[in-house]
Structure 1
């Protein structure tokens, strides 16, 4: 018969009351000192995990005699329970702090506009160009296009610009490529008139076309000029064409663009590619001439002159028709050129060309999403 087991749990260091109390105090201090959920997770692993001091002490109980297990189990179990309760309370407190912080840091003001990236708008030059084009398409014209980098022959020679014409100098024209053994170099087109020649060379007669597009000249950017601008060119070549037909087309355009009842007038001018040539004026659509001679009612749109210049026109020079292979004994025609920026400025009261080119969305959005 074996001797009685005199094993004293007090003599086991890990189960000594003072040691259990020390382990409990360390655990509670670590839990109380955790300032984040991540720190609390580390404290839980260190003081309530499988390898924590209290867990290891709990394993020592299994080696005790039955009479000693109850007291040791009560002591260690009570300490572990307090650690668990402390963990639960501290986690609740930290989660509450986190939620309160998130409400402040990630708050969403539902009274603000939801669309913080406002919609863009089509540039008014585009919409005005399309409106102008639509008016002529409604009269039976077709839309013609040409390259912006153009051969000198199309831009100058075929349009009756002599070799020594001032417009052919670098002070007026952007040259892309000088002549290299050929008849001409290449330029950034100075007007949309080269499309006239291309249309005559590529289409069967009669020709009724309009050519909206970008043009380039060596102008300084100021309130009324820009080195990159837009024109709408028109060309008619048919049998029996006269200036009366041109006048009727211009009148129809003015009425469609600016309103009915406006008068137009032609003033003699000169262009190499038309003869005779004329500047086209229309009656001011704001004051309709009433401000002329009336200092008490000045008109900012026409400067109290009663008339607004809108473009140039004329009968197509026979030399231009000949360059395109058109029989001048049988066919005649006329052409016109209208400034799109100028039309936009008059129709909408735009005073400064800078507004059209600086890309400020506040300027374009004022014209809306017209299509």
Structure 2
């Protein structure tokens, strides 16, 4: 058996020559520097620092060297492999930092967007305004009264002193569900051979309140009403009213005027005056139209062509609706002694108030069900 070759020179091993080790090291460092992403760096690592890389193969040759030559060769290969490992770690940190910055930009989440893409609904402004108006009177001690929308003719017409030949009782104004065989019925007669209509106003609720409640009566009656109008920008066959009735001892027109003034201040703000203009309604006597000072121009547009007002058409006043003292015939029809009790009533359309409060120009927008109309009014309750 031959002895080890103690005179074996490591420079004779090609892979361990200093220039070969330096060349493998420099090639590895260049490849590492050129790696453009982590995937490319992994390929470089396998080629220049893996088990089959030139430096790894050179490291295996060290064991074949004589003992006196192994230390120097091992030191040379170790330094080269250390430089490659350090370069790999540094380049990996750089590429990971670049990747993280790129991900932050490319995969950024806009936290200002709504978290829930389900569209938010809104209450219909007619409902909101109706409840707000009712709240004004509830705070004054009034009660909310309701009644059926399909109403007997007696409640809708006769009890309100609307004569059988009144134009409002023709087919041009009223939706008839069933025509009664005789006019001028009492409440008992209305039950025997009832004529039925879709109520043309909420005044029948006032009649029912007088018949069902003990005096004094203070009620506000919001609700849906029906008339045979064509649907256009200012008319609709189905609309909403709010009516008020107060019956007590000693009520006068002064109480009516004070109630209207309080309502206007509560809904539109302080400093807006009101006025009553003589008019005629079968169920009130005396009767009046109630107006309020335009809340937009406060009357300043009257006679000033340089300051026109769309809200009041430069007239300075806005018509709210009708009012008056309850006709004694209405009180008598409901079993109330007109010698002892008096009352006042007024009413107005909610659609009309919504139009000039919020500059709504077309009434059809209120009934078409488009959420783009209702959403700006929000979910106020």
TM-score if structure 2 supplies the norm length? 0.67
For 1:334 and 1:236, locate their aligned partners in 2 and report how far apart those are by CA, in whole Å: 5
The 5 A counterparts of 1:171-320 are 171-179=172-180, 182-320=192-330
Q: Using the TM superposition, give the Cα deviation of residue 339 of structure 1 relative to its aligned residue in structure 2, in angstroms.
A: 1.2
* 1:169 and 2:179 are equivalent in the alignment: no
Deviations 1:20-39 (A, max 9, x none): xxxxxxxxxxxxxxxxxxxx
- The residue aligned with 1:128 is 129
* 1:339 and 2:349 are equivalent in the alignment: yes
Structure 1 pair 329/251, CA: closer, same or farther in 2 (3 Å)? Answer: same
Other structure's SS at 2:336 match: coil
For 1:184 and 1:269, locate their aligned partners in 2 and report how far apart those are by CA, in whole Å: 31
Q: Using the TM superposition, give the Cα deviation of residue 119 of structure 1 relative to its aligned residue in structure 2, in angstroms.
A: 1.7
Other structure's SS at 1:366 match: helix
For 2:194 and 2:279, locate their aligned partners in 1 and report how far apart those are by CA, in whole Å: 28
Deviations 1:245-302 (A, max 9, x none): 0000000000000111001000111111001100000000010110001111100000
For 1:338 and 1:136, locate their aligned partners in 2 and report how far apart those are by CA, in whole Å: 14
Q: Using the TM superposition, give the Cα deviation of residue 116 of structure 1 relative to its aligned residue in structure 2, in angstroms.
A: 2.8
Structure 1 pair 338/184, CA: closer, same or farther in 2 (3 Å)? Answer: same
Deviations 1:99-132 (A, max 9, x none): xxxxxxxxx9965644332121110000000010
For 2:108 and 2:160, locate their aligned partners in 1 and report how far apart those are by CA, in whole Å: 64
Q: Using the TM superposition, give the Cα deviation of residue 347 of structure 1 relative to its aligned residue in structure 2, in angstroms.
A: 1.4
Q: Using the TM superposition, give the Cα deviation of residue 350 of structure 1 relative to its aligned residue in structure 2, in angstroms.
A: 1.1
TM-score if structure 1 supplies the norm length? 0.69
For 2:194 and 2:323, locate their aligned partners in 1 and report how far apart those are by CA, in whole Å: 27
Count of aligned pairs: 264
The 5 A counterparts of 1:67-146 are 113-146=114-147
Q: Using the TM superposition, give the Cα deviation of residue 180 of structure 1 relative to its aligned residue in structure 2, in angstroms.
A: 5.7
Q: Where does the alignment leave 5 or more consecutive residues of structure 1 unmatched?
A: 1-107
Other structure's SS at 2:307 match: coil
- The residue aligned with 2:160 is 159
Other structure's SS at 2:164 match: coil
For 2:109 and 2:347, locate their aligned partners in 1 and report how far apart those are by CA, in whole Å: 53
Structure 1 pair 367/239, CA: closer, same or farther in 2 (3 Å)? Answer: same
Deviations 1:137-190 (A, max 9, x none): 111111100000000000000000100000001111001112268454100000
For 2:108 and 2:371, locate their aligned partners in 1 and report how far apart those are by CA, in whole Å: 25
Other structure's SS at 1:230 match: strand
Q: Using the TM superposition, give the Cα deviation of residue 357 of structure 1 relative to its aligned residue in structure 2, in angstroms.
A: 0.6
For 2:108 and 2:240, locate their aligned partners in 1 and report how far apart those are by CA, in whole Å: 45
For 1:219 and 1:344, locate their aligned partners in 2 and report how far apart those are by CA, in whole Å: 19
For 2:134 and 2:169, locate their aligned partners in 1 and report how far apart those are by CA, in whole Å: 29
Q: Using the TM superposition, give the Cα deviation of residue 328 of structure 1 relative to its aligned residue in structure 2, in angstroms.
A: 0.9
Q: Where does the alignment leave 5 or more consecutive residues of structure 2 unmatched?
A: 1-106, 183-191
Structure 1 pair 319/360, CA: closer, same or farther in 2 (3 Å)? Answer: same
* CA-based RMSD: 1.5
- The residue aligned with 1:149 is 150
